[in-house]
């Protein structure tokens, strides 16, 4: 590609964004063109002019998986490089399935980050050494990576959905997760929207079909 590699950083930790910006701006031919702490800021920052997005998977209440899918739907030419603390197989599979071109851990060194950014900008697929080693171990041992249920949801939303599927109402879920009932209600509403489901009973069926919820859930009494 001609011109500098234009990079946007999406991470909810300001110290990480600051440090990563300093690293990238020290690299020849790399230009940081934007930063975002959450999904709303990312939507306002990322355009088709961005070449690579450094994406954390956990953005507070937002899901980096869902945001990656949204970015690639709106700007298919953008390359997403996930850089996160999560090294489990489910997260890697979910990221690749939604279109990410690379996956690094935040323990990666400067050389690894530079190599990954240049590879993703060039249209290549790249996994960090630790992630690649886990993937190879899975292949060699014959294990099948576990599918992350509902990757479009954030970790908190999946937690709420699991409790909904077990039959807990919003008040009970709020007690379990130490949240306010209003926050739980907002989460449930967001989940209904993301999964294109119109009612709580239908949501429970969908969640159980996806593998969430216990075998003998209690009767649901709460409402979204």
Helix orientation angle between 200-209 and 155-165, rounded to the nearest 10 degrees = 100
Burial of 77: CB neighbours in 10 Å, binned 0-12, 13-18, 19+: exposed
Q: Where are the domains of the chain?
A: 5-141, 155-209
Instruction: Provide the whole-model pTM.
Output: 0.63
What stretch of H or E contains 7? strand 5-10
What's the pLDDT score for residue 137?
Answer: 55
CATH number attached to the domain at 155-209:
1.10.10.10
Going 153 to 94 to 57 to 10, the CA torsion angle's sign is negative
In this structure, are residues 55 and 12 in contact, taking their beta carbons and an 8 Å threshold? no
What's the pLDDT score for residue 133?
Answer: 62
What's the pLDDT score for residue 223?
Answer: 46
Question: Strand, helix or coil at 197?
Answer: coil
- Tens of pLDDT along 58-110? 887 788 888 998 999 999 999 999 998 877 767 787 788 888 999 998 888 99
CATH class of 5-141: alpha beta
Q: What is the pLDDT along the chain (224 residues), one digit of tens a residue?
A: 678 999 999 999 999 999 999 999 999 999 999 999 999 999 999 999 999 999 998 887 788 888 998 999 999 999 999 998 877 767 787 788 888 999 998 888 999 999 999 999 999 988 887 666 655 555 445 555 555 678 778 778 888 999 999 999 999 998 888 888 898 999 999 999 988 889 999 999 999 988 888 654 444 344 44
What's the pLDDT score for residue 169?
Answer: 93
């Amino acid at each position: 590609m001609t011109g500098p590699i234009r990079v946007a950083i999406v991470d909810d930790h300001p110290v990480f964004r600051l440090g990563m910006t300093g690293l990238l701006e020290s690299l020849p031919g790399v230009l940081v063109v934007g930063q975002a702490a959450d999904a709303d800021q990312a939507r306002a920052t990322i355009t088709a002019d961005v070449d690579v997005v450094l994406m954390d998977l956990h953005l507070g209440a937002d899901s980096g998986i869902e945001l990656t899918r949204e970015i690639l739907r709106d700007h298919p030419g953008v390359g997403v490089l996930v850089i996160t603390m999560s090294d489990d197989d489910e997260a890697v599979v979910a990221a690749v399935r939604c279109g990410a071109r690379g996956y690094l851990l935040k323990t990666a060194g400067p050389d690894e980050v530079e190599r990954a950014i240049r590879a993703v900008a060039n249209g290549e697929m790249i996994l960090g050494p630790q992630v690649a080693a886990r993937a190879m171990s899975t292949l060699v041992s014959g294990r099948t990576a576990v599918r992350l249920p509902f990757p479009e949801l954030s970790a908190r939303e999946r937690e709420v959905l699991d409790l909904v599927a077990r039959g807990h109402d919003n008040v009970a879920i709020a007690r379990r997760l130490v949240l306010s009932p209003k926050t739980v209600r907002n989460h449930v509403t967001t989940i209904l929207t993301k999964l294109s489901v119109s009612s709580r009973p239908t949501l429970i069926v969908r969640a159980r079909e996806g593998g969430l919820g216990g075998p003998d859930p209690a009767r649901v009494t709460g409402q979204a």
